[in-house]
Chains A and B, each alone.
Chain A
Amino acid sequence: MGKINIKIEGIPYEVEEGMTILEAAKSCGYQIPSLCTYNHGECSRGSCRVCLVEVKGARGLVASCVYPVNEGMEITISSPKAVAARRASVELLLSNHSMKCQQCDKNEYCELLYVAKATGAREDMFAGEKTPTTIDEITPSIIRDTSKCILCGRCIERCKNAHGQSVLGFEKRGFNTIVGPAENRSLADSPCILCGQCVSVCPTGALMEKSEIDKVDAAMAAGKFVVVQTAPAVRAALGEEFGYKVGTPVTGQMVAALKRLGFSKVYDTNYSADLTIMEEAFELLDRIKNGGVLPMITSCSPGWVNFAEINYGDLLPHLSSCKSPHEMFGAILKSYYCEKNGIDPKDMFVVSVMPCTAKKFEKEREQLQHDGIKDVDAVLTTRELARLIRRSGIEFNKLPEEEFDNDIVGDYSGAGVIFGVTGGVMEAALRTAYHELTGKERDAIIFEEVRGLEGVREAGIDIGGTTVWVAIAHGMKNARVLLDQIRNGESKYHFIEIMGCPGGCIAGGGQPYVKPCFLPNEDADILDTFRAKRASALYSEDERQVVRQSHNNPQMKQLYDEYLGEPNSHKAHELLHTTYKARVPFK
């Protein structure tokens, strides 16, 4: 592409041919007010009319997000006509919007509010009828409130990009148009896997996680022994909520904050990630040795498990029977830990801070409770934790770095840390499987061949002369490739890792929003780079660990010696393994 000459506000600029006016203006230092945070085609382009500008000779104002620049073009952003038109576009959006901004959990990250401020839009300029509202609060994970929807369609595109088919779509027409699952049903009835990717791109509060902060408050008020655990991915992103650059690990400060929030114990889910590896690696070896169902597929990601149950019910025997790490931790806390410390499991309340909305659903699964006691009682997203911290007046940036609790549980290896990134569970399992099969540690701790962010990856790993074939997919669009191979009897793999969200947990649906308009200090390509940046935060934490293989976590040996016996023992199965059930949507 060549360069062309344009004028903005009468000043000559040279810009790339083929750019839209919005892009060209940005390259010249003008941020035209727009809702185009995701200029990756993740909206129905040109429809919101917020980014109108004046172009000399054009008929009427043009939407700068879709209008290409051409040689000699003269653009005016600040003319009274353009300013008034942009403001009116936003006022029209506001006229059909629930204006309960103060009580909306999205308000700090609401792009509509942002653009309303930027354009000076006023409330109630077009008062009148509003589209009938649907509020779906049925799933434990996501709330859909159409009164806040501006019909941008980003959620639809994100769902499609991540998972191949969108659960959400536009329905009806004109003033009655809404976005929702077919028949405007609840997400609970639809094939939605509750991953929350739609929540992470929604510009307003139309799609939000279902907050469980109140449950935690209630447990604290009731004097319960409230234990909190945090998933590995949380530390890689929480800092973003407090002004840190994307990819800054804030482990020590996060722990310090949690200790100040009144939790009785603050543990790292990595402990039970190690436990998951012990169980899962041995399950895999058992399947290989004894002719079990192969390939075996990981089961840590509740979004993926939902997808399997809804779309690939015939392949459920391929899923590892291992519970996900935080559920394992809950089960160990409410058995081993309670017994050792003389606590009645009924008095214990386990909170998991997760990068995930599907985990909220997972903890409610009937397979993950015993005698009415859930392994995990509440799941907060990374964003909810940030809200909790802000609410308590804690100045995160001024916190000292503190250590996780570590008594009879809580120790962890570097293998547990990397669970949060696509390929991480695979790598952690391979570190332990290698040791188990060869009797020694692999010289190179890192399995470079399973790292990266490509959608589908495969590798043949030599373990003591045997080649173990592994594959990795993240996002269900990619997973379908590997799953269809299994269905067609063409899969050559022994072990497959599948994560629900593209990038894995680091980019989960419960992670801090990555919206360039709220991240003025990040590079312009942050939407393309944030996954890699967060991933490197986890890989660097792995490298800082002395112990980097799950089986070398001293508390694993202790737990098996004192309580579980050996991996996949009867007791381990009772506490740490689960079952799955095929489900049919729209019933």
Chain B
Amino acid sequence: MASISSEARKQILEICDRYVDERTPLMMILSDIQKEYGYIPLEVQEIVSEKTGISVAEIYGVVTFYSFFSLQPKGKYIIGCCLGTACYVKGAQQVVDKFSELLSIQPGQTSEDGLFTLDALRCIGACGIAPAVSINGKVYPKMSVSDVPGIIEEYRKMAG
């Protein structure tokens, strides 16, 4: 647990304390950690295990079961490409592939500079504007492969 600072450790224990009276506190604890830190690495799971008495194996099982939880830190900008049926038939796969190519990451991964995380999503309910991409909540409608370089550039500039 060397990589966790004592400050972070304290904060994680504090999150655990929020739910001491709950009969099954694990999901709530993990949700808070995910929201507040953006990811839940094994070292953090070990602290939760120590505190709650739930085995690391079980915690890891929950973290890897739900896609909401992440083991790796997410990028500053999370690019969610919809691969639902409507988007897919309108060419969403090519859009994902283009992001993948230009950022040199696979869906689920984060770029080395920590700026971008590429996620392939199930239907996000925006079939009317397919193929749709959402970046930190902002939706880009009717995407085409040629739009991709400009969008990446836009966010790189924004990050400075």
Return chain A residues, CB-CB under 8 Å to B49.
Answer: 165
Is A314 an interface residue, CB under 8 A from the partner? no
Contacts of B56 in A (CB 8 A): 181-182, 190-191, 586
Interchain residue pairs with CB less than 8 A apart (6): A165-B54, A165-B55, A172-B64, A181-B56, A182-B45, A183-B60
In the assembled complex, how far is the CB of residue B85 from the closest CB belonging to chain A, in whole angstroms? Answer: 19
Range class of the B interface residue count? 10 to 19
Interface string of B31-58 (1 = CB under 8 A from A): 0000000000010011001000111111
Q: Hey, which chain B residues are within 8 Å of A110, CB to CB? A: none
Chain B residues whose C-beta falls within 8 Å of the C-beta of A180 in the assembled complex: 57
Q: In whole angstroms, what is the CA distance A346 to B45 when docked?
A: 47
Which residue of chain B lies nearest to A182 when distances are taken between CB atoms in the complex? B60
Q: Does B15 contact A (CB under 8 A)?
A: no
In whole angstroms, how far apart are the Cα atoms of A169 and B58 in the complex? 5
Chain B CB within 8 A of A523 CB = no
Instruction: Known A171-B64, A172-B65, A173-B65; judge A586-B46 contact (CB<8 A).
Output: yes
B55 touches A169 (CB 8 A): yes
- Determine whether B61 belongs to the interface, using a CB cutoff of 8 Å to chain A: yes
Say yes or no: is A338 at the interface (Cβ < 8 Å to chain B).
no
The residue on A at minimum CB distance from B59 is A182
Of all chain B residues, which has the CB nearest A180? B57
Q: In whole angstroms, how far apart are the Cα atoms of A452 and B64 in the complex?
A: 42
Q: Please tell me if the beta carbons of A171 and B42 are within 8 angstroms of each other in the complex.
A: no
In the complex, are the beta carbons of B61 and A171 less than 8 A apart? yes
Given known contacts A173-B65, A182-B45, A586-B46, A167 and B55 CB-to-CB distance under 8 angstroms: yes
Known contacts A168-B57, A169-B57, A182-B42; 10 additional CB pairs below 8 A are: A165-B49, A165-B53, A165-B54, A165-B55, A169-B58, A169-B61, A171-B57, A171-B61, A173-B65, A586-B42
The residues of B that contact A168 with a CB separation of less than 8 Å are 57
A window 162-203: CB within 8 A of B: 165-173, 180-183, 190-191
Which residues of chain A are within 8 angstroms of B45 by Cβ–Cβ distance? Answer: 182
CB distance from B67 to the nearest CB of A (A): 8
Partner of A171, one of B46, B53, B54, B60: B60
Q: Are B57 and A166 in contact (CB under 8 A)?
A: yes
Closest Cβ of chain A to B42, distance in Å, is: 6
Q: CA separation between A167 and B55, bound complex, in Å?
A: 7
Cα distance, A160 to B49, chains bound together (Å): 14
Min Cβ gap B69→A in Å is 11
Q: What is the total of A-B residue contacts with beta carbons within 8 Å?
A: 45
Residues of A within 8 A of B60 (CB): 169, 171, 182-183
Contact status of A166 and B46, CB under 8 A, knowing A173-B64, A173-B65: no
Residues of B near A181 (CB, < 8 A) are: 56-57
* Residues of chain B contacted by A183 (CB below 8 angstroms): 42, 60
Contact yes or no, B46 A167, CB < 8 A: no
Contacts of A160 in B (CB 8 A): 55
Q: Are A166 and B64 CB-contacts (below 8 A) given A182-B42, A182-B45, A183-B42?
A: no
Residues from chain B with a CB closer than 8 A to the CB of A172 are 64-65
**Bound: A181/B49 CA distance, A:** 14
B49 CB, min distance to chain A CBs, angstroms: 8
Question: In the bound complex, how far is the Cα of B46 from the Cα of A191, in angstroms?
Answer: 11
In the complex, A287 Cα to B57 Cα: how many Å? 39
A167 touches B57 (CB 8 A): yes
Chain B residues within 8 Å of A190, by CB: 56-57
Q: Which residues of the other chain, A, contact B57 by a CB distance below 8 angstroms?
A: 156, 166-169, 171, 180-182, 190
**5 closest Cβ contacts across the A-B interface?**
A169-B57, A182-B60, A165-B55, A169-B61, A182-B56
Q: Is the CB of B61 within 8 A of A170?
A: yes
**A172–B60 Cα gap in the complex (Å)?**
9
CB distance from A304 to the nearest CB of B (A): 18
Interface string of A396-429 (1 = CB under 8 A from B): 0000000000000000000000000000000000
A139 to B135, CA, bound (A): 45
The 8 A CB mask of A364-408 against B (1 = contact, 0 = none) is 000000000000000000000000000000000000000000000
- Report the bound CA distance from A586 to B45 in whole Å: 11
> Can you name the residue of chain A whose Cβ is closest to the Cβ of B56?
A182
Q: Closest B-chain residue to A172, C-beta based?
A: B64
Taking CB atoms, residues of chain B closer than 8 Å to A191 are 56
Inter-chain contacts of B59 with A (CB < 8 A):
182
Closest beta carbon of chain B to A386's beta carbon, Å: 31
Q: What residues on A are CB-neighbors of B55 within 8 Å?
A: 160, 165-167, 169
Q: Which of A167, A183, A190 has the most CB of B within 10 A?
A: A183
Question: Considering the chains assembled together, what is the distance between the CA atoms of A321 and B58 in angstroms?
Answer: 34
Q: Identify the closest chain A residue to B41 (Cβ).
A: A183
